[in-house]
Copies of this chain bind each other. A is one copy, B any other.
Amino acid sequence: MVKYVGPSLDATFAALADPTRRAIVARLGEAGPSQGVAVGELAEPFEMSAPAISKHLRVLERAGMLTQQRDGRVRRCRLDPTPINEASRWIEHHRAFWNNQLDALADFLEGPNKEDAAHD
């Protein structure tokens, strides 16, 4: 199969498909555009080994959602919002689209004897 996924929708949605990573993303979001949050700090809430966290961070990194920079022996993580913005665009586009259609159906089902139905 060997399908390359760079900073793509594939990688972004896959990265968001795990609760630990979503929590990390949320945490980094709360931290805002600061100097970044240390890996150890990010790891703290989770009952999980350090390597497990490290792997999650690499998944986020490969999705382009996270960058790391060294600060002494500490690595600080920051969010790059671009991939999620793109994912958001995709999802919003389609969500809005078919919800509108569902609304149209609801209107039709609920008011075929009202004036809306007179349109055709």
Q: Given that A25-B94, A88-B92, A95-B88 are known contacts, is A101 also in contact with B10, CB under 8 Å in the complex?
A: no
Contact assessment for B91 and A95 in the assembled complex, using a CB-CB cutoff below 8 Å: no
Q: How many residues of A contact B (CB 8 A)?
A: 36
Contact assessment for B102 and A95 in the assembled complex, using a CB-CB cutoff below 8 Å: no
Q: Across the A-B interface, give the 5 residue pairs with the lowest CB-CB distance, nearest first.
A: A13-B17, A14-B17, A32-B101, A29-B98, A33-B105
**A18-60 CB contact bits vs B (8 Å, 1 = yes)?**
1100100110111011000000000000000000000000000
* A interface residues, Cβ below 8 angstroms from B: 9-14, 16-19, 22, 25-26, 28-30, 32-33, 79, 81, 84-85, 87-88, 90-92, 94-95, 97-99, 101-102, 104-105
Contact assessment for B84 and A91 in the assembled complex, using a CB-CB cutoff below 8 Å: yes
- Specify which chain B residues have a CB less than 8 angstroms from the CB of A104 in the assembled complex: 32-33
Residue of B nearest to A14 (CB): B17
A104 to chain B, nearest CB (A): 8
